[in-house]
Amino acid sequence: MQRKLLITVLIALSIITALALWNDGLWGIFAPNFQSFGEFQVFFDLIIALGLFIVWMWRDAKKAGRNPWPWLIITLSVGSFGPLIYLILYGKNESDRKKN
């Protein structure tokens, strides 16, 4: 169930991102975040959230014996795609939780 939800969110994010890039271009996605303090606050909040996720992914990858660098690079370059893909690939499912 959790994995299906994450895949659905990833597909929705991909579609929204593709539409935004098509309509506004790369700079058009970022420019509005610097037009007011309210818009910048949302952007800054996203940076904080992704930073926290990077720390968690780094620790989780190291603990599992995986290389954390690809996930750091993906997250820094394309945002939430990194954590979503990481969770789809390595997130615990229901049967894993029952074992622990």
pLDDT of 3-14, one tens digit each? 999 999 999 999
3-state class percentages of the chain: helix first, strand second, coil last, to nearest 5 = 85, 0, 15
Structure tokens belonging to residue 51: 């930073």
Q: What is the pTM of this model?
A: 0.81
**CB burial class (10 A; 0-12, 13-18, 19+) of residue 54?**
middle
Supply the pLDDT for residue 91: 87
**Does the structure show a pLDDT above 70 at 98?**
no
List pLDDT tens digits, range 17-55. Answer: 999 999 999 898 888 888 899 999 999 999 999 999 999
